Amino acid sequence: MNGEDVRLSHRVFIGLGSNLGDRHGRMRAALKLLDEHPQITLEKHTGFVETEPWGVQDQPDFLNAVACITTTLEPHALLAELKHIEKELGREKRNQKWGPREIDLDILLFGDLVIKTNNLVIPHERLTERQFILGQLLEIEENIFHPVHRVPLRNFLIPD
């Protein structure tokens, strides 16, 4: 290969959420930092949608979005970059699962990979339970398939 550094580019969907402080500002900053990363290209993202908290109800509403990126990073390296961005944008460590947070960046889908380790589960383990996330994913890519169930994600939508 002529000694060139040839890296495979992966198509990845990232969920973004924020319910503390300047939610809009943090979400925009997270998208900007993703796009400025040398190994990440922000292809497109949904608009911001206000949603009720999931899990722990006694907290402010969330602002959510989904971004589609391409990256040469492998899954665990991308996770590390997302955690770095969260920290840079002021995310504080809390012990309450599903509690309030300044910014949250989750890998929803990473191509058609299926990964289950202690610190990384792809596809996101609650992907099919969150209707707003399914709707936002389908807004970007209407024919996307669930890599485990091997059916279109739209099959998991609950009609209004």
Query: Which residues form the catalytic set?
Result: 91, 101, 104, 106
> Which residues, 6+ apart, have CB-to-CB distance to 121 below 8 Å?
115
Q: From CA 3, how far away is CA 9, in angstroms rounded?
A: 18
Run of H or E residues at 160: none
DSSP secondary structure string for all residues of 79-92: HHHHHHHHHHTTPP
What phi and psi, each to the nearest 5 degrees, are found at residue 128? -80, -10
Q: In Å, how far are 40, 45, 122 from 11, measured between CA atoms? A: 10, 13, 13
Within 10 A of 127 (CB to CB), how many other CB atoms are there? Answer: 21
